Amino acid sequence: MISTQSIPTPVDGYRVEEIDGELLLYHPQSTATVYMNSTAALVWQLCDGKREVSEIVDILSESFPDSGSDLGDDVLKALDSFHDQGALKV
């Protein structure tokens, strides 16, 4: 399970694609596909292998001050999903 001190790092080879208005992560060699909403796509873009999850939450909180107190939980859920689907390592 990913914690706020974890440093999420994308697995090499995944890239963001938009197909028919839907965002997804796609790995061409393994043909793995991870569907994302726009919020999850922002979380993915902030995963650089250097930032802790708490820093990602802080950046999103500053950018979207009306997002509410559930933002941290939403970020963790998105990261857990990426990790469970093999697109992210910690």
Distance in angstroms (rounded) separating the CA atoms of residues 82 and 43: 10
Q: What is the pLDDT of residues 29-54, one digit of tens each?
A: 988 899 998 889 999 999 999 999 99
Mean pLDDT of the chain: 91
Q: Please tell me the predicted confidence (pLDDT) of residue 68.
A: 77
Average pLDDT over residues 61-77: 89
- Asked whether the predicted pLDDT for residue 21 surpasses 90, the reply is no
Architecture of domain 9-85 in this structure: Orthogonal Bundle (1.10)
- In the chain, what are the domain boundaries? 9-85
* Reported pTM: 0.89
Distance in angstroms (rounded) separating the CA atoms of residues 47 and 13: 14
